[in-house]
Amino acid sequence: MSGGLLVAGTTSDAGKSVVTAGICRWLVRRGVKVAPFKAQNMSLNSFVTREGAEIGRAQAMQAQACRVEPTALMNPVLLKPGGEQSSQVVLMGRPVGELSARGYHGGRQQQLLGTVLDCLAALRGTYDAVICEGAGSPAEINLRRTDIVNMGIARNARPRLPVLVVGDIDRGGVFASFFGTVALLGREDQELVAGFLVNKFRGDVSLLEPGLDMLHGLTGRRTYGVLPFRHGLGIDEEDGMAVSLRGAVRESSVAPPVGEDVLRVAVCAIPLMSNFTDVDALAAEPGVVVRFVDRPEELADADLVVVPGTRGTVRALQWLRERGLADALVRRAADGRPVLGVCGGFQILGEHIEDDVESRAGQVDGLGVLPVRVRFAREKTLARPVGEALGEPVEGYEIHHGIADVMGGETFLDGCRVGAVWGTHWHGSLESDGFRRAFLREVAAAAGRRFVPAPDTSFAALREEQLDRLGDLIEEHADTDALWRLIESGAPQGLPFIPPGAPA
């Protein structure tokens, strides 16, 4: 068997990543050998595979849902925005250059179709089923000619992929979105759109059923399930940060503290923020309250301030200065109040940055709270380091152009510590449970809080729990027999054409 499915969406953030992960977990629990695939991903949240390839974090999480090791085959093209007009293109896990949106869609994207089809074919030759995720909407008619991630991959795959369109009913207008998505596709593409999946429904499903029946009458396509709204189900984000600057991390609730105090963590919402998933492990701790901030006064009651990674270190540094956050961070360091810099945030806390690669700004003064000098190299560091810190084993992953010359302080992972200021290039280190607890004890002591980390929080177990809940959603609220037939046999024959179709 070499089954497959493309999960498309009526919009960005309709729930494609979550549905793909849920289908993957449902299948693997049925004993199916399954893998995820996304031909082209635009994300500042990325991950490093065991072989040292950079892919989107959503695909790494979907691989975990499949209980397989992530590889570059699962996300052959990754675009990392560097501003409003350009992105770094990562091909098969390695950066190959910067391109403007016009340059990419003007020719480069179509050249990559052969590569992504080869990767998909390799996965289909190894796994029983491959669950593919689209990007944005397949009905973006201005991008149809060069599409390699939605109908372009479904149409050109051998055998061709059936398509399931996901719509977020919580946003409203889901029926118009479903109908319009199909009606703007060409005849050949419409033949592959098997039906729909409603996401984030609140209320009595029986009230929705007449609309689903009418949708079937209008399009000749069935609805494969209605997934209820559930809090806290988002897996690692891709195209944007699904949090308010003043909201909690996604929709997670804070469990009561083990000790007498909570611990308040403020994350600076710097421009081009990357791998902000680093703080998810903090948010998972009972009694730890995490929020994203963009004003200096919001640091006042924080017990720990995190300066996260960024795709634009110099730009983020300028933003911190313009907002008054830079001065607030320097004052915190002088007062012995905890600050953690990760990757680009670590570089910002250093003495100076020499950047002729990312921003081409030359030498720029950092905040000067860590004895570190940073030089940007053209070659990107991609690594999966392991080590020990604070008396505990720890592992992480590195994705950076900046090379740090650490000239003092106490050793902390690959970086250093001075007083209550820590800096490291290691993403994901806080997912190591023992290390995270030791770090939080240090933070609580420096902040004067009677906070005690929970002794039994397992971040890996919480991840597994979350993925099982996604699998449960599919198993309980989708027509899994019909979904399996779709994956195994492809789109039904004789699906009607809905005018007007794609423009010539």
- What is the Cα–Cα distance from 441 to 258, expressed in whole angstroms? 12
Q: Let me know: does 308 contact 430? Beta carbons within 8 Å.
A: no
CA 462 to chain centroid: 17
Q: Are strands 222-228 and 372-383 parallel, antiparallel or unpaired?
A: unpaired
| Contact predicate 233/428, CB 8 Å | no
DSSP state letters, 20-36: HHHHHHHHHHTT--EEE
Residues involved in catalysis: 343, 427
Q: Do the beta carbons of residue 19 and residue 185 sit within 8 Å? A: no
Radius of gyration of the chain (CA): 23
**What are the C-alpha distances in Å from 6 to residues 127, 180, 483?**
15, 18, 12
Q: Which residue bears the tokens 């300066």?
A: 307
- Cβ-contact 467, 476 below 8 angstroms: no
Residue in the block written with tokens 């893998």 = 35
Provide φ and ψ at 206, rounded to 5°.
-60, -30
User: Which is nearest to 320 in space by CA: 370, 369, 374, 269?
Assistant: 269
